[in-house]
C-alpha cells in the first residue's frame, strides 16, 4: 500500500513537500529501491537539497539508519526531516515507552498459501510491539490492512483493554439457520424468485455491515451477520451489545461473533482476547469447543465448514489464540476494487449468475458502489485461506455450501 509522508528540509524547515512512497519500496536503506532513496530523490527534486545524507523523524529527532528504524517509523502522515549532514534542528522529544509494552511480543502468522498485504503484517507487528499489555498476537490467513489496525487479527493482553482494536461495530458476527425451504426451490432461476421476495428486511437495523446470505448443504440454511455498537461502561456494555445482537435470532444452528473482547482464564494467565475480524473456537460461556464454524467465501465462492482443532502441536489453542479466520478476507481495498472492477465489469450484470451456471448466486444489492467493492475479485481465495488453517493444525474442513442468494441492501421506502 502506498504510504503518504511529508519531506522537510532540516536546515530550512519552511521548505516541505508531500511524498507518496510506493508499496514496492523496501525498508533496507542499503538497496536500490529503498524508502530512503525515494526520500532523497524527493528532497533533491522538490526541496533542491543537493546532497541529502541523513533523515530524522519529526518531533523525536530519531535518525533513521537501519532497516528496523525505517520499518518501524514509516507510516502515513509521518514527517521526515532531510539533512545534508547537519544534526537535527529542533527540540527532541524522547519517545515514552510504557513499562507494559513488550517489544518482543510473540506474533504468529497462519498464512502460507493465502496472500497477505505487507502493510497488514506491519500493522499487526507494530500493534503487538507498541501497545501496552499485549502478550500475544495472531494474524489469520484472511489478514488484511485496516485504517490503523489490521483486520483478521487476534490480540491477547494482560491488564489492558484497547477498545480501538475492535472498533465500534461490537458483536458483529455470523449465525446459521436451518430453513424449511427445500434446495430445489433455490436451484437455477428459482433463486431469483427467492431474491425478489426478500423485501422489508432493512428496518431500524439497516447498515452496510448487515447482510443475509442464503446457503445450502443438502438443506437450505441462512448465514447472517449482525452487530450492535454500544459502549458506555465499556466491558459491561460491550457484553450487553454483543449478546443483544443475538437475542432475536431464533432456531439458531450455530453462531460466531468476530468483533469482540473476552477474558480467558487459566492457571497461568488471565488475559483479554480481542478479535478484529476473527471467530472464537469455543463457546465463551461454557468454555466448550464449537463443533463447527462457517468460513464465508465471497459471492462467487463457497462457504467452508470448519471444525476447530486442538492439540499439543498448537498448544491447545494458544497458537491461534483460540480463534479462526472469519472469512476469505479482502485482497484489495474498497477504493481499489471500486476503481478496477467497475471498469472490468462495465456493462455486465454481476448481480445474477452467468448463463448456464445453475449454482451461481443471485445478489440483492441496490447500492452500485457496494456491488464492485464486494465483488468476488476483491476477496482472497477462500480455499487457500481454509487450507492455511488446516496446514497450521488449527482446523479441519468438514464440508462446504454455496450461496444461492446473497442479500446486502435493498433501497425501499418505509
Catalytic residue among 136, 210, 238, 326: 326
pLDDT band, residue 398 (cuts 50/70/90): very high
Helix and strand totals (H; E) in the chain: 8, 19
Q: What is the pLDDT of residue 260?
A: 56
pLDDT band, residue 81 (cuts 50/70/90): very high
176: exposed, middle or buried (Cβ count in 10 Å: 0-12, 13-18, 19+): buried
* DSSP H or E stretch at residue 362: strand 362-365
The greatest distance separating any two alpha carbons of the chain, rounded to the nearest whole angstrom, comes to 76
Single out the residue of 92, 76, 144 nearest to residue 332, CA to CA: 144
3-class SS of residue 289: strand
**Poorest-confidence range of 16-25, 249-258, 386-395, 396-405?**
249-258
Q: What is the pLDDT averaged over residues 393-399? A: 97
Q: What is the pLDDT of residue 182?
A: 87
C-alpha cell at 317: 489453542
Single out the residue of 65, 84, 91, 121 nearest to residue 8, CA to CA: 84
3-class SS of residue 404: strand
Q: What is the pLDDT of residue 402?
A: 86
Q: What is the pLDDT of residue 87?
A: 94
C-alpha cell at 74: 514509516
Rounded distance, CA 125 to CA 106, Å? Answer: 9
The CB density around residue 196, as the number of other CB atoms within 10 Å, is 11
Please state the three-class secondary structure of 50-78 as a single string.
CCCCEEEECCCCCECCCHHHHHHHCCCCC
pLDDT more than 90, % of the chain: 53
* 326 is annotated as an active-site residue: yes
- Structural contact between residues 134 and 161, judged by C-beta atoms closer than 8 angstroms: no
Rounded distance, CA 398 to CA 401, Å? Answer: 11
Binding residues for GMP: 326-329
Rounded distance, CA 250 to CA 354, Å? Answer: 34
Rounded distance, CA 287 to CA 177, Å? Answer: 23
Single out the residue of 388, 331, 275, 328 nearest to residue 120, CA to CA: 331
Q: Convert the pLDDT of each residue in 330-349 to its tens digit.
A: 999 999 999 999 999 999 99
- Structural contact between residues 81 and 10, judged by C-beta atoms closer than 8 angstroms: yes
The CB density around residue 97, as the number of other CB atoms within 10 Å, is 10
Q: Convert the pLDDT of each residue in 292-323 to its tens digit.
A: 999 998 887 899 999 999 999 999 999 999 99
Question: How many residues does the structure list for the chain?
Answer: 414
The answer to whether residue 233 scores a pLDDT higher than 60 is no
Q: What is the pLDDT of residue 236?
A: 64
- Structural contact between residues 209 and 169, judged by C-beta atoms closer than 8 angstroms: yes
Mean pLDDT over the full length of the chain: 84
DSSP labels, 200-245: S--GGG--TT-EEEEEEESEEEEEEEE-----SSHHHHHHHHHHHT
The CB density around residue 215, as the number of other CB atoms within 10 Å, is 27
pTM summary value: 0.69
3-class SS of residue 90: coil
C-alpha cell at 87: 544534526
**Poorest-confidence range of 193-202, 211-220, 347-356?**
211-220
Residues 138, 142, 147: CA angle, nearest 5 degrees: 80
Q: What is the pLDDT averaged over residues 267-288? A: 84
* DSSP H or E stretch at residue 42: helix 35-46
**To the nearest 10°, the Cα dihedral for 199, 205, 210, 215?**
-50
Q: What is the pLDDT of residue 95?
A: 65
C-alpha cell at 271: 488475559
| Choice between 59 and 218, residue whose per-residue pLDDT is larger | 59
The answer to whether residue 225 scores a pLDDT higher than 90 is no
Q: Convert the pLDDT of each residue in 124-140 to its tens digit.
A: 999 999 999 999 999 99
| Choice between 175 and 36, residue whose per-residue pLDDT is larger | 36
C-alpha cell at 236: 459491561
Q: What is the pLDDT of residue 204?
A: 47
Domains defined along the chain, listed by start:
3-83 (3.10.20.90), 107-409 (3.90.1860.10)
The answer to whether residue 244 scores a pLDDT higher than 50 is no
Amino acid at each position: 500500500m502506498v504510504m503518504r509522508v511529508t519531506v522537510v528540509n532540516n536546515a530550512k524547515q519552511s521548505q516541505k513537500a508531500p511524498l507518496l512512497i510506493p508499496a514496492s519500496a523496501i525498508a533496507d536503506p542499503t538497496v536500490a529501491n529503498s524508502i530512503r532513496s525515494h526520500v532523497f530523490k524527493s528532497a533533491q527534486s522538490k526541496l533542491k537539497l543537493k546532497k541529502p545524507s541523513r533523515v530524522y523523524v519529526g518531533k523525536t529527532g530519531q535518525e533513521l539508519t537501519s532497516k528496523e528504524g525505517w520499518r518501524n517509523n514509516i507510516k502515513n502522515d509521518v514527517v521526515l526531516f532531510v539533512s545534508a549532514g547537519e544534526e537535527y534542528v529542533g527540540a527532541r522529544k524522547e519517545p515514552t515507552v510504557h513499562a507494559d509494552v513488550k517489544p518482543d511480543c510473540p506474533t504468529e502468522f497462519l498464512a502460507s498459501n493465502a496472500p497477505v498485504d505487507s502493510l497488514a503484517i506491519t500493522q499487526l507487528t507494530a500493534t503487538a510491539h507498541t501497545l501496552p499489555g499485549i502478550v500475544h498476537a495472531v494474524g489469520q490467513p484472511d489478514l488484511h490492512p485496516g485504517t490503523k489496525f489490521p483486520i483478521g487479527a487476534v490480540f491477547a493482553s494482560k491488564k489492558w483493554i484497547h477498545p480501538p482494536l475492535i472498533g465500534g461495530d461490537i458483536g458483529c458476527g455470523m449465525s446459521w439457520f436451518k430453513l424449511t425451504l427445500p434446495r430445489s426451490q433455490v436451484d437455477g432461476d428459482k433463486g431469483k424468485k427467492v431474491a425478489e421476495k426478500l423485501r422489508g428486511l432493512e428496518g431500524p437495523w439497516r447498515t452496510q455491515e448487515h447482510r443475509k446470505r442464503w446457503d445450502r448443504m443438502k438443506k437450505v440454511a441462512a448465514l447472517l451477520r449482525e452487530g450492535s455498537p454500544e459502549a458506555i461502561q465499556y466491558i459491561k456494555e460491550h457484553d450487553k451489545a454483543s449478546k443483544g445482537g443475538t437475542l432475536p435470532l431464533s432456531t439458531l444452528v450455530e453462531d460466531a461473533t468476530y468483533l469482540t473482547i473476552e477474558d480467558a482464564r487459566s492457571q497461568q494467565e488471565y488475559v483479554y482476547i480481542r478479535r478484529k475480524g476473527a471467530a472464537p473456537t469455543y463457546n465463551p460461556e461454557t468454555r466448550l469447543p464449537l463443533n463447527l464454524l462457517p468460513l464465508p467465501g465471497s459471492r462467487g465462492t463457497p462457504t467452508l465448514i470448519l471444525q476447530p482443532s486442538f492439540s499439543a502441536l498448537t498448544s491447545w489453542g494458544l497458537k491461534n489464540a483460540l480463534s479462526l479466520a472469519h472469512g476469505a478476507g479482502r485482497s484489495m481495498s474498497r477504493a481499489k476494487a471500486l476503481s478496477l472492477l467497475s471498469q472490468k465489469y462495465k456493462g455486465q450484470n454481476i448481480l445474477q449468475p452467468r448463463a448456464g451456471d445453475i449454482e451461481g448466486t443471485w445478489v440483492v444489492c441496490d447500492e452500485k458502489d457496494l456491488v464492485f467493492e464486494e465483488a468476488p475479485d476483491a476477496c482472497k481465495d477462500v480455499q487457500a485461506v481454509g487450507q492455511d488453517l488446516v496446514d497450521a493444525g488449527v482446523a479441519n474442513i468438514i464440508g462446504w455450501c454455496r450461496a444461492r442468494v446473497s442479500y446486502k441492501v435493498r433501497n425501499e421506502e418505509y
